[in-house]
Structure 1
Amino acid sequence: MAAPSLPIISLAPFLRPDATRESKLHAATLLHEACSTHGFFYLSHHGIPSSICTSVLDHARRFFLSSPEASKSSIARRDPEAGGDGARGYQKLGENLTKNSSDYHEAIDFYRPVPLEPFSSGGWKLLRGPNLWPEDADNSGFKQAFEEYWTKLLELGDKVMIAMAWALGYEDDEEVILRHTKEAFWVARVIGYPPLPRGAEGKSCGEHTDYGCTTFLLADQTKGALQVQASDGKWLDADPVDGAMVVNIGDMMQVWTNGLWKSTVHRVVHKGENYRVSVPFFYEPDWEARVKPLERCVKASGGERKFGETVYKEHIMGKVAGNFYSGGGDMGAAGN
């Protein structure tokens, strides 16, 4: 078996209460190197049972391959003018856009609930609405499986934020990032990728970076689909590794680190014969978080502040708006 193209990082020292400072510093050093070089890595010893991961993937595959079209349509994403929030719900093939080009996948999008603020017309504002859940009788347990999985990922995300603080030299203030993610505005996608038609020029999911802090990807065993752009412009395959998740950093982490860590461009090009299923979870800042470079990162990167302050809710609303409407410029889908 060929060695993975990305580093494998164990989170064990940050999950064990009896871990030594030396073991944490060693893991933090490896994490810093991975985030500085690739912005992507495999996370092992993450503490999420394989039974939960298997259940989530099984429910996702059953939805895409077995649910009637009427069931999918019943939870379709709707624009605010049509009584939706413009983001949550099911998208059929080709509906999602990356840089104004249609992606060849179908998906259900979920977001952390935010206060519902109806327009006087009875619709909802962008991103202010309820999540929409499949209710097929032959796929019962879908909601329970995903909510259990996401709860564990939020706990894992908290641990990763502490590990990343150590990696940035903040072991004496390990909640320097976590203070801004106490009510993380998580985003989750359940994505189905049919094989690209033979000779197609498009992408399963076009080139993009992710929006927030850290993305945790659970996917089936399909190889040669997820691709990560290296610093020399070449594309590396991020094939599944047993027992590990693919993790990458997003735009907000690039701001916090003043560019020491890059929000890496990636894409999905699925030319295999199978139907690929992936379940990315995006651990984000708080809705109202104001993100700006950390002082030690500014100093470590030469003393020049490369980014101004970003209000997270404004950042994500601009990104999401570009996912479904042409004219979105560089706005891109979050898909792995």
Structure 2
Amino acid sequence: MATATVANIPVIDISGNQQQAAKELVDAAIEHGFIFIKNTGQDIPVEAVDGAFDLSRKLFSAPVEEKQSCVYQKNNRGWSSMKYETLDPKNQRVGDFKEAFNFGEFVDGQAQQPIPPTIAPYEAQICAFRDLCYEMSLRINTLLGIGLEVDPPDFFSAAHLREKGASGTILRLLYYPPLANTDADREDVRAGAHSDYGSMTMLFRLKGQAGLEIQTRENTWAPVPVCPPGTENDPAPPILVNIGDLLSYWTNGLLRSTVHRVVFPGPGKEVVEGETDTDPRYSMAYFCHPVGTMPLTPVPSERVRKVNAPADASAGNPHAERKVLTADEHLNMRLRASYLQFYKDKE
């Protein structure tokens, strides 16, 4: 395997000057659609991330019968088995080679859905980690509003406040087996090419685990390192934030909802130095969504108003064209495409 030319994604420390951090976040969101946030432990303690990964390992090693009792439902919560989801249905011969478990809202520390008995004793810990992600997502949304000179600057964060209504926000735990433990071909994918459905995503990964790639402006695929240069000695890998469809809609395509995928690296493919797919891959994604009834009209920003959507804003992204009016409508459209058979069976 050849050493990769990795994706050029900026690393930003949001713990310092907020105006500078806001500018850097917006610049990265416009150019790349992906941003590394240094994980200093200020917003989400390293111990909380490590603990959540430990629970993820417990969950996916639980008996199949336990997971099946919490199977995926129409509210986008629960367990999905190997090859159940198909993120790129037009180009995949089979579904994604991954398992996933989606946690929706918690009320008074309790999940509003069935959870496997193996992790039931840790329900409060899962809730606490989800709350940490929620608070950090509000902070990043506020910085994006400042950087885009939105009036008011808390427009994005206010649209995500829990007290304003239900949303499609999900904490997703993911498990990807190594190729040797599957019936996949090397050209199959662990997660098909897609853009994310919500406003933004916060992704947590483990050192040494390869697979994530983004589609560049040149329409090529570039691996995304877990630890980009300069972060190798940080207490934890940086949190990878990417812009989703809704922030792209809200900004007339100014912020990029970049297409990405998870592959099986192997012979003839480039890999990041020090990363492999010989072991299982675990990741955790916090999919941030605004209140479901929120309209997707352009935000009150002179910067957005004066800029026409970039000519290549929709390059590689079949969902960049606005087809829906609210956050929930967009989410439902994307879910129906990814879980086609599930929705057919329900009709």
Deviations 1:22-55 (A, max 9, x none): x222112211111011100111145210111000
**Deviates most, 2-11 or 37-46:** 2-11
Q: Distance in 2 between matches of 1:3 and 1:109?
A: 29
Instruction: Tell me how far 1:179 sits from its aligned partner.
Output: 2.5
| Structure 2, unpaired ranges of 5+ | 228-235, 266-276, 311-320
Deviations 1:133-159 (A, max 9, x none): 1212xx454322221111011111111
Match of 1:76 in 2: 71
State the percentage of identical aligned residues: 23
Out of 247, 253, 257, the residue aligned to residue 253 of structure 1 is 247
2:59 partner letter: F
Matches within 5 A, 1:136-175: 136=118, 139=119, 141-170=121-150, 173-175=152-154
Match of 2:285 in 1: 280
Match of 1:20 in 2: none
Deviations 1:191-233 (A, max 9, x none): 1000135743210000000011110011222443111111111
Q: Distance in 2 between matches of 1:188 and 1:327?
A: 21
2:278 partner letter: E
Q: Residue 98 of structure 1: SS of its match in structure 2?
A: coil
> Do the aligned residues in 2 keep the contact of 1:258 with 1:297 (CA within 8 Å)?
no
Q: Residue 47 of structure 2: SS of its match in structure 1?
A: helix
**Deviates most, 205-214 or 97-106:** 97-106
Q: Distance in 1 between matches of 2:245 and 2:209?
A: 26
Match of 1:131 in 2: 113
Q: Residue 189 of structure 2: SS of its match in structure 1?
A: coil
Match of 1:124 in 2: none
Match of 1:239 in 2: 225
Instruction: Tell me how far 1:275 sits from its aligned partner.
Output: 0.6
Instruction: Tell me how far 1:307 sits from its aligned partner.
Output: 5.1
Matches within 5 A, 1:257-336: 257-271=251-265, 272-295=277-300, 296-302=302-308, 310-326=325-341
* Structure 1 position 10 matched with structure 2 position 4: no
> Do the aligned residues in 1 keep the contact of 2:188 with 2:264 (CA within 8 Å)?
no
> Do the aligned residues in 2 keep the contact of 1:260 with 1:297 (CA within 8 Å)?
no
Match of 2:48 in 1: 52
Q: Residue 144 of structure 1: SS of its match in structure 2?
A: helix
Match of 1:188 in 2: 171
> Do the aligned residues in 2 keep the contact of 1:5 with 1:237 (CA within 8 Å)?
no
| Structure 1, unpaired ranges of 5+ | 14-22, 79-84, 115-128, 329-336
Instruction: Tell me how far 1:87 sits from its aligned partner.
Output: 2.9
Q: Residue 142 of structure 1: SS of its match in structure 2?
A: helix
Instruction: Tell me how far 1:173 sits from its aligned partner.
Output: 2.1
2:8 partner letter: S
* Structure 1 position 105 matched with structure 2 position 88: no
**TM-score, scaled relative to structure 1:** 0.80
Change (3 A) 1:270 1:63: farther
Out of 21, 27, 43, the residue aligned to residue 21 of structure 2 is 27
> Do the aligned residues in 1 keep the contact of 2:291 with 2:327 (CA within 8 Å)?
yes
> Do the aligned residues in 2 keep the contact of 1:228 with 1:237 (CA within 8 Å)?
yes
Instruction: Tell me how far 1:90 sits from its aligned partner.
Output: 1.0
2:258 partner letter: T
Q: Distance in 2 between matches of 1:56 and 1:327?
A: 29
* Structure 1 position 38 matched with structure 2 position 32: yes
> Do the aligned residues in 1 keep the contact of 2:215 with 2:260 (CA within 8 Å)?
yes
Number of residue pairs aligned between Structure 1 and Structure 2: 294
Deviations 1:245-269 (A, max 9, x none): 0110100000111111110000001
Q: Distance in 1 between matches of 2:309 and 2:222?
A: 32
Deviations 1:115-172 (A, max 9, x none): xxxxxxxxxxxxxx94221212xx45432222111101111111111100111023x6
1:108 partner letter: F
Matches within 5 A, 1:202-241: 202-241=188-227
**TM-score, scaled relative to structure 2:** 0.77
Q: Distance in 2 between matches of 1:318 and 1:104?
A: 22
> Do the aligned residues in 1 keep the contact of 2:248 with 2:254 (CA within 8 Å)?
yes
Higher relative contact order (CA 8 A, sep 6+): 2
